Amino acid sequence: MKRTLSLILALALAYSCLFALAEDKSNPYEVDESVTGTFTWWTFFDQAPFIKEQFELKYPNVTIDLQVFGGDEYQTKIMNVLSSGQGIPDMMDLEEGYVYKFLNSDAFVNLEELGLEDALGSYYDWAIAMGRDGNGVLKGICDNVSPVAFWYLRDAMEQWLGTSDDAEISAILSSWDAIMEKGQEILDASDGTVYLWPNLAEMVKVEGYSLTPLARGGVVEIEQGWYDLLDTMREFYESGIVADLGSWGGEWASAWNAGTLLIRTMPSWDFFTDWSKNTGNVGVAAPFKASYEGGTYRAIYTGSEKIDLCATFIEFITTTEYQIQNLETNNQMPANKNVKDALGEDYTNANFGGQNILATYDVVCSTIADITPDEYTRGLQNKFSKYAQAGIKEGKTNEEIIADFLADIQDTYPELDYSQVK
């Protein structure tokens, strides 16, 4: 009887241990039931429900009223509620393209005063800088970064470049001259059916954050590097090696997924890959110039009665534990450099053919130029890209392209100083 009872107790103990292990596996966080309350969070970000779910695993006694809006209406909605002072959420997401319109106002809390700058000790410097207002005050914090890489298919690269190794691809495509030469080789060898490079716009995407921004401190000045880029873009276009498939378009995505377009220059949050067809066949290589595109920053409304609760949320999304889950579930690149160290040198990603994409993206993130963007940086870069593409296709000179660009931005940003433009 005693032996039977002992066996039952042993089995019960083993079962309870197994149950505890299963519980731990389903919840990677140390649960904290002491934090309670409800707050409202507005966003445009379709992965916000995942973040909410992860936070509530750690803080089960907190309820988030999450409201997701379409991208086009979202910015207008924020503007309207801030203007009226009515119905303002406790916390809201701001996208890179317009984050500075809001951070420069008094509507958002100084996160340094909440001690949140301490949580960013292992962040990439440029990722922190994007959350500062014009006076350098920290008002927004991200949970991931969006470094730009050369996206490719492994089998296509093996066929046309002789390798699918990301470091070797980076070495082969190490300059615009090298890309143009290799692009011509591939186009000739494929009888005009396979292109290496997609369009002119993605040249600006590669170069944009290695050049002095088109406006600094409210003054517009166009350094020689932008003119040099125009010359290179024109050379590419006139050579005939550019596929001329518009970024983020259906033809562009289809050609890449089929292997007839070899490179897409995209941020890490790319959503144009046909994973049902190419899972395990995808690779990313570091370009010869480092840049990023996009960014989502969480900011807290100064009039909120839930500031401390929102601060707990923002601190949570900076943690290594959360950012690992976000990487593994959503392929979102961590802003916290500790994630790379925590996962180790042996980390691999099955979707990317077993590549250590963290190591590749760290090469990009660690070499992005020390340029603190402002409310004009991305908008001016996008407009430059627009007029550069159109002007080159129309046979315009650099001077004519710059004149068209300036005419537009003077209407859009009349407050800027144009006296230094030659």
pLDDT tens track for 151-205 = 999 999 999 999 999 999 999 999 999 999 999 999 999 999 999 999 999 999 9
**378 Cβ contact list (under 8 Å, min separation 6):** 96, 97
pLDDT of residue 33: 97
Q: Mean pLDDT across the stretch 200-216?
A: 94
Note the pLDDT of residue 401. 98
Alpha helices, H only, 108-249: 125-129, 154-160, 166-172, 176-189, 201-207, 224-239
E-strand ranges in 12-147 read: 37-43, 62-68, 91-95, 144-145
What pLDDT does 25 receive? 55
Outline which parts of the chain fall under CATH 3.40.190.10. Answer: 28-146+293-365, 148-290+384-412
- What would the mean pLDDT of 63-73 be, rounded to a whole number? 91
144-145/219-220 β-pairing: unpaired
* pLDDT band at 70; cut points 50, 70, 90: confident
By mean pLDDT, which of 15-19, 224-228, 293-297 is the weakest? 15-19
CA 293 to the chain's CA centroid: 5
> What is the token pair recorded at 182?
């290799």
Q: Is the pLDDT score of 6 beyond 50?
A: no
Q: Confidence class of residue 242 from pLDDT cuts 50, 70 and 90?
A: very high
Over range 232-253, report the average pLDDT: 96
pLDDT at 372: 72
In the predicted structure, residue 22 carries a pLDDT above the cut 80: no
pLDDT, residue 16, reads 41
Residues above pLDDT 70, as percent of the chain = 94
Q: Is the pLDDT of residue 10 over 50?
A: no
pLDDT surpassing 70 at residue 13:
no
Question: Once rounded to an integer, what is the mean pLDDT over residues 85-91?
Answer: 96
What pTM was estimated for this model as a whole? 0.89
Q: How far is CA 100 from CA 106, 211, 269, in A?
A: 12, 20, 21
For the ranges 74-78, 133-137, 234-238, 293-297, the maximum mean pLDDT occurs at 234-238
Report the mean per-residue pLDDT for the chain.
92
Of 105, 174, 168, 166, nearest to 139 (Cα)? 105
pLDDT-derived band at 5 (thresholds 50, 70, 90) equals very low
Q: What is the mean pLDDT of residues 22-33?
A: 78
- Tell me the average pLDDT across 313-335: 95
Q: What is the mean pLDDT of residues 369-373?
A: 75
Average pLDDT rounded to a whole number, residues 233-258: 96
Residue 12: per-residue pLDDT: 42
Superfamily of domain 28-146+293-365: Periplasmic binding protein-like II (3.40.190.10)
For the cut 60, the answer to whether the pLDDT of residue 21 exceeds it is: no
With cut-offs at 50, 70 and 90, classify the pLDDT of residue 392.
very high
Q: What is the separation of C-alpha 294 from the centre of its chain, rounded to a whole number of angstroms?
A: 5
Say how many C-beta atoms besides its own lie within 10 A of residue 222's C-beta: 19
Determine contact, residues 365/372, Cβ cutoff 8 Å.
Answer: no
Q: Could you tell me the CA-to-CA distances from 238 to 176, 197, 244 in Å, in that order? A: 14, 13, 12
| Homologous superfamily of the 148-290+384-412 domain (CATH) | Periplasmic binding protein-like II (3.40.190.10)
